[in-house]
Amino acid sequence: MQLHVIARGKIGRSPEGEMVERYGKRIAWGFKVTELPDRGGQMPPPASGPVRTVALDERGRQLTSTEFARILERWRDDGVREARFLIGAADGHDEALRDSADLLIAFGAMTWPHMLARAMLAEQLWRATSIVAGHPYHREG
């Protein structure tokens, strides 16, 4: 399954960008990042086959890393070809996008910088795929 981060804004050459790249290289499932302008721009076409959409949103569910891993594992096992992770601009996502998402997730009640949220997401995607693979990186409890 392809893990596709679609984010508003340009991360450029930055410590956060380096973290996204570092974790992305570790993900064995396939990892891709698409950047869109803060406003407008066309969403890339989905992969052929089933696609799931996850929006990072302050109203989203707060999942443990293991719960997140199990969701991704179930989607993979169900034949989902692409899981899209949407990170909005400063004003977040509009209601229509939130309503159409398969899952809304939040990284807690605090507000996080969008560039840091990308790095956090990349790490959680790597952590989730590591959990599914039985890798000892994740320590729960």
Q: What is the domain count for the chain?
A: 1
Annotated binding site: 56, 88, 107-112
This prediction has a pTM of 0.93
Q: What are the distances in angstroms from CA 27 to CA 59, 64, 79? A: 27, 19, 18
What is the pLDDT confidence band of residue 139, given thresholds at 50, 70 and 90? low
CB 121 within 8 A of CB 85: yes
The 10s digit of each residue's pLDDT in 120-136 is 999 999 999 999 999 87
What is the structure's pLDDT at 64?
A: 95
Give the annotated binding-site residues for S-adenosyl-L-methionine: 56, 88, 107-112
Give the pairing of strands 2-8 and 51-61.
unpaired
Domain that holds residue 80: 2-133
141 located within any domain: no
DSSP of 69-121: HHHHHHHHHTT--EEEEEE-BTTB--HHHHHH-SEEE-S-SS---HHHHHHHH
Domain with 28 in it: what CATH number? 3.40.1280.10
